[in-house]
Chain A
Amino acid sequence: MSTPKDSLETAAYEGSRVERSTREVEDLAKGEYKYGWTTDIETDTFPKGLNEDIIRAISARKQEPEWMLEWRLKAYRNWLRMDEPTWAKVHYEKPDFQDLRYYSAPKARKGPKSLDEVDPKLLETFAKLGIPLDERKLLAGVAVDAVFDSVSVATTHKEILGKRGIIFCPISEALREHPELVQKYIGSVVPTGDNFYAALNSAVFSDGSFVYVPKGVKCPMDLSTYFRINASETGQFERTLIIADEGAEVSYLEGCTAPMRDENQLHAAVVELIAHKDATIRYATVQNWYAGDEQGRGGIFNFVTKRGKCEGANSHISWTQVETGSAITWKYPSCLLMGDNSVGEFYSVALTRNMQQADTGTKMTHLGRNTRSTIISKTISAGRSDNSYRGLVRVMPKAENSRNYTQCDSLLLGDQCGANTFPYIDVRNTSARVEHEASTSKISEDQLFYCQSRGIGPEDAISMVVNGFCKEVFDHLPMEFAVEASRLLSVSLEGSVG
């Protein structure tokens, strides 16, 4: 089946326009979602609905080992007994899981062996998104895995990485080539029955990235996955598994976009990170899924489970996220600090506008001694959106001398948006020290006037104040991502202040 062909021009939509009280915003075009077009490509798509046969069919398409199918079925049976969570501060119509497709893939020419064999339309799609997959054009410092709907279409720089024993490939390929590694680690951080959407993902996930960095190896370049949803009425369920063995280091970047459609689309991913002794994993996300229009029609439901396990002593996991897209975001990248002296970090910027809803934060669970965690959350709300930080800091009885520092800052633009902070603190060891700071502010007229009186226009002034507000988080992004994130915020904010 193919998708309707939309040109870039017709797909453009008018971005959020909250009328400024004093001055009309001049350039309407700036607030547009740039990535709303679709690719017209022949696909191999499963019929709607979810049952054991669909799961068997997915597993068969992927030529998975038998144990994987059993694992999926177990997850599915678990899922059937579970209820959708309702505790998040988000409102939406529950997806009809029988009205979704669980697999859609561009018709492959018998599994491309190299980039030359990849459908040019796909290469073109990613090039248009600013992700050239041609290695000659790629930035030398980043290896990319590109995921289109349910499958990975290309992974670059495999050879360079391979020489150091680093595995970076689609998880479907890892299941065929390195089944023992996948079997050892998959579900070890997020078990199949962990939560409703994690269980669903475990049953039907179709692709995602797999990373293994061997002992003592520092990955010579950033690894990056770019997720693109194209097909309509199809859920994207990707699964990412990253393992840093003893003393290894890796930095991973994730970006996402989707076409603009009137109906909501479901994205339910699971990401698992495992850091062994002395290992470091840095995981950064710039999430720019389609967020729906001003009336709240359409947009992605982003229900994601991300969790890292600092298994060994002195291990370090750092999550950095910039969330600007999705109609609804429901996501808590977390750390299990098991190894002594292990460190968990969470740096987040979440921006909502129009009718967007975000309920995002983190969980830091201190299990080992001298474990440390840092949480810096910056939320920016505009329009009629609702933005919540929800975080749990838990210190278990054996976690002697644990430390946590949490800082949650909210910035409001306009008077119809909401910002909430829900901190949960559960400390079971008296030697622990847990600090929490929170602030809420509005962009003040004074700040805008100050910038204007120096010649800086109001839109640029807003973007400057917001970027300043987010600086502590952007400082933790790789340079190029930080520039992209800053630009994304500015575009998202055009015309957001009344």
Chain B
Amino acid sequence: MLEISNLHASIAGKEILKGINFSVKEGEVHAIMGPNGSGKSTLAQVLAGHEAYDVDLEKSRVTFLGQDLLDLPAEERARLGLFLAFQYPVEIPGISNSYFLQAAMNEIRKSRGLDELDAMDFDELLQEKMKMVEIDPGFASRAVNAGFSGGEKKRNEILQLAVLEPRLAILDETDSGLDIDALRIVSEGVNRLRSPNRAFILVTHYQRLLDYIVPDFVHVLYKGRIVKSGGRELALELEEKGYDWIRTEEDAGAPV
């Protein structure tokens, strides 16, 4: 469903992604790992359509469900079924979670020619999803992420994921800043949402998350390129050897 070929992107003239290639099929879970500064979050944001990045449109090609993704603004990518769980979820004071999610859901439904849900129907759906991801019902009326703890923000992202039911969900360092209980709840939420027609890309620095959400594929990103791809065992190897292993190997072999 997602094909990434030779993706180049830069910010403020500095090239961050230097030719990314990989593809994701329905139902698959891919993990993107790599040391700090390797371009993991940039990849997530570029796929979601953040306008701060300049994508080299001559070289890069990304298709999602058969559509040229790079042509679309962020909101249209979301309506198509792409979801980004933010590393740092943004606060929107004064707007309640339920209002925000209802607006988002109805935009997505409208774009697919479906009827909008009214507040009653939506509330029913929201209650059900909140139960599913073990979130307190009080969340619905709280302003979007305003005054939430780090863990609450991450759980709120998973709630949004559960409500919006995307085809492809990118989780950007969802595990960072979570204690072990929160990590368990978040992971269980994600596992419940796994399905044969939904794919996940987990962006993470640590192997820890992959103990809970077991990936089908692991890619190691380093200096803007995928330098190793493998199965679950690659993550374990990384944990054992550390990122220095990649650094030494790559920097030694790289052209000077």
**Residues of A with Cβ closer than 8 Å to B?**
22-23, 444-447, 449-458, 460, 464-465, 467-472
B51 at the binding interface (Cβ < 8 Å): yes
B117 at the binding interface (Cβ < 8 Å): no
Nearest first, the 7 closest Cβ-Cβ pairs linking A and B are: A468-B94, A471-B94, A452-B74, A454-B104, A455-B78, A468-B95, A450-B90
B245 at the binding interface (Cβ < 8 Å): no
Report the minimum CB–CB distance from B87 to chain A (whole Å): 11
Chain B residues, CB < 8 A from A468: 92-95, 143
A469 and B93 within 8 A (CB): yes
Kindly count the residue-residue contacts between A and B in the assembled complex, taking CB atoms under 8 Å apart.
Answer: 84
A22 and B51 within 8 A (CB): yes
Chain B residues, CB < 8 A from A457: 75, 107
B73 and A450 within 8 A (CB): no
CA gap between A22 and B143 in the complex, in Å: 28
Given contacts A453-B78, A457-B107, A468-B143, contact A23 B95 (CB under 8 A): no
Which residue of B92, B100, B160 has the most chain A CB atoms within 10 A of its CB atom? B92
B73 and A464 within 8 A (CB): no
Chain B residues, CB < 8 A from A454: 75, 78, 100-101, 104, 107, 160, 164
A449 and B51 within 8 A (CB): yes
Shortest Cβ distance from B163 into A: residue: A454
CA gap between A457 and B72 in the complex, in Å: 12
Report the minimum CB–CB distance from B83 to chain A (whole Å): 8
Chain B residues, CB < 8 A from A467: 94-95
Among A451, A458, A469, contact of B94 (Cβ-Cβ < 8 Å): A469
CA gap between A471 and B95 in the complex, in Å: 8
Given contacts A453-B84, A464-B95, contact A458 B90 (CB under 8 A): no
Interface size class of B (residues with CB under 8 A): 20 to 34
A472 and B94 within 8 A (CB): yes
B254 at the binding interface (Cβ < 8 Å): no
- Per-residue CB contact flags for chain B residues 62-98 toward chain A (1 = under 8 Å, else 0) read 0000000000011101110001101001111111000
CA gap between A472 and B51 in the complex, in Å: 31
A450 and B92 within 8 A (CB): yes
Chain A residues, CB < 8 A from B143: 468
B227 at the binding interface (Cβ < 8 Å): no
B99-113 interface with A by 8 A CB criterion: 100-101, 103-105, 107-108, 111
Shortest Cβ distance from B145 into A: residue: A450
A23 and B73 within 8 A (CB): yes
Shortest Cβ distance from A378 into B: residue: B94
Among A445, A453, A456, contact of B49 (Cβ-Cβ < 8 Å): A453
Shortest Cβ distance from A444 into B: residue: B90
Which residue of A447, A452, A455 has the most chain B CB atoms within 10 A of its CB atom? A455
Chain A residues, CB < 8 A from B103: 456, 460, 464
Q: A450-B90, A450-B92 are in contact. List 7 more A-B contacts (CB 8 A).
A: A445-B52, A447-B92, A454-B100, A455-B111, A456-B103, A469-B94, A470-B94
A453 and B73 within 8 A (CB): no
B201 at the binding interface (Cβ < 8 Å): no
Chain A residues, CB < 8 A from B160: 454
